[in-house]
Structure 1
């Protein structure tokens, strides 16, 4: 019993040791200049995109603009993500101001997202407590798959094939979840967020259908919202799906809980940009308040620390990460397919 207690104290001390290394390297210091440039640049490009949208007018070329805005919505959402983790300013108020602004620009409830994402960070890949493992349209464990009924059961059987098509609806799901949160009055900033969501919806639809004919406008919205959902889903899915899930009552310390359930995606600075720094998922989960541009430097320190302490550290390329996701989904739905085959 004493040896077990000693081991747990030693494991708990591992994170303190790693934290001292990270702080000593100055990687938890704010990077206000970086974020100022990133925010101003994003907003300038976003505004310029709408100017080009109006200049093009009622044309099917606007479907290319729909692709552009899908990218920009995701890049703006990444800033909201960083604000939610207090990566930009040390205090809450500055981060919240940036977060609410960016949530309003893309039509999301910042408060809803922060609450959900905080629960995920506290218990990543926990079978009961991680909200990202409780998505009705998908099953992330075999036990989850067995509980599905009706259409959801059929979807769970074929979820690997349906995964990317389902992401086309993720943008609408994010909007709807935000509306439900504000409608129920769950947040302290209900009036602010209600105003932001209404302003976003009215402004978005007014510009689209003032410039475009009804048919072209509907096509623009479908492409834009669909690809935004795919981009958002493809940015977050590789980070944990296919990694070990944790049952209730697990005994992992904070360091191992975060590292063993997360996966990094390597590929250079273009992957850093495309995934908004979420490709350094291990470092981000260990140090959620670390500014995005510092994650690359932290990765070297954390990987070396894990190697010295014999802690599995998972990373792979971008394409391989999606293969892991699809393999995991296929495996989770396997019992349903086997049962269907036996019945046939």
Structure 2
């Protein structure tokens, strides 16, 4: 049995309260699991907070903070909050105690030395100025996307809708939308401007007016992905398991043993290229309206409508409604293909399982890998070829990933953490290899387990 909690007392000479002391075993009990879903505690810098009544009000989303219930959230807290001092003021009302002096800085199953070295690295990164954005870089990024967007319309305006200009215009439109996606990703991670509000408003404009999406839904989903990448039931990017795909050998074996299937997963490596983007296009078009309406995000909904009106006015007079629909959804499908291959090359081939409560570095490295640097790779992926560095430092401006990469490699080498970096084609091929292995694992369990 864990030791009894110490009673909060007040020092007569100062009037300051003495916080209750807890062990890691006691904290783990309050994980929000089972019948006590609202009983949630977490630890930040050895302080214990009761978030049971707060998690639903959490600005970053109720689920992302709940994913750390019963765990140490110190490094995740630092990764997601630009102004820690300001946020800690709001945390004071949730403070209920601290770790007992005899308790280590992290849970017993974690590498304390690795955690300490990573936190030292975070201090070094800030001193080097790697968390500061180069405004000229992002200005040029934005300018080239606007030019691509305009080029798509100009091609149709000057050359009409014969096959060649039609295809080139679709490619320009899809490329612009992909690049808008990478840019809104930067803004959503508060990595472009120093001011959080400037990032948030710019995110709403780029995501809504220029891309036709909802930043609130993106934030709700993407923050969870970063908090617990490749952790089933915590990373929403795995929601396609088992609806469309069987992902990861442990989950595939479990699914096969339960004799469950929605599709023939042993063939998923064959249908991935069409089914994954084909499912994303209608899902995205529907979810943006559903989310903004049910969450009453009226300004975001207005921006989405304005995006559609803008494109209707630009293209329908030139090609008619029916051809525009074919044009628009062809570009969206091409965009979805680009998005799927880039985002999944870093994750699907990696470890996919339930949350093992790994330390921040080990958890992120187990779920992510890099693709070799080149001008094309950097541009086509929005610098997400540096997925490891992005996951460790999600608020770092993307143009600084290559600078911090050697430091991350040294940290991983020192502590025996696997740092994977591949060629672009190898990363793409590994998606299919991984899907085939998972599908074969599912079939084996389905037939024989």
* Structural RMSD (CA): 2.5
- Unmatched segments (≥5 aa) in structure 1: none
CA distance in 2, matches of 1:321, 1:338: 26
Residues 58 and 213 in structure 1, CA contact (< 8 A), matched pair in contact too: no
Aligned length: 336
Superposition pairs for residues 3-82 of structure 1, below 5 Å? 5=108, 8-60=111-163, 61-82=165-186
- Unmatched segments (≥5 aa) in structure 2: 1-101
- 1:184 pairs with 2:294: yes
The structure number with the bigger radius of gyration is 2
TM-score of the aligned structures, taking structure 1 as reference length: 0.89
State which of 223, 227, 231 in structure 2 corresponds to 1:126. Answer: 231
- Structure that is richer in helix per residue: 1
CA distance in 1, matches of 2:202, 2:247: 33
CA distance in 1, matches of 2:446, 2:254: 17
Residues 22 and 298 in structure 1, CA contact (< 8 A), matched pair in contact too: yes
CA distance in 2, matches of 1:300, 1:124: 22
CA distance in 2, matches of 1:30, 1:119: 24
CA distance in 1, matches of 2:185, 2:259: 31
1:201 is matched with: 308
CA distance in 1, matches of 2:255, 2:156: 44
CA distance in 1, matches of 2:339, 2:437: 23
1:287 is matched with: 393
Q: Are the structure 2 counterparts of residues 340 and 214 from structure 1 closer, same or farther at C-alpha, using a change threshold of 3 Å?
A: farther
Q: 1:262 Cα shift?
A: 0.7
Residues 224 and 236 in structure 2, CA contact (< 8 A), matched pair in contact too: yes
Superposition pairs for residues 56-205 of structure 1, below 5 Å? 56-60=159-163, 61-104=165-208, 105-135=210-240, 136-141=243-248, 142-143=252-253, 145-146=255-256, 152-154=262-264, 156-169=265-278, 170-185=280-295, 190-205=297-312
State which of 424, 429, 436 in structure 2 corresponds to 1:330. Answer: 436
Higher relative contact order (CA 8 A, sep 6+): 1
Residues 29 and 291 in structure 1, CA contact (< 8 A), matched pair in contact too: yes
Residues 175 and 335 in structure 2, CA contact (< 8 A), matched pair in contact too: yes
Residues 245 and 268 in structure 2, CA contact (< 8 A), matched pair in contact too: yes
Q: 1:211 Cα shift?
A: 1.0
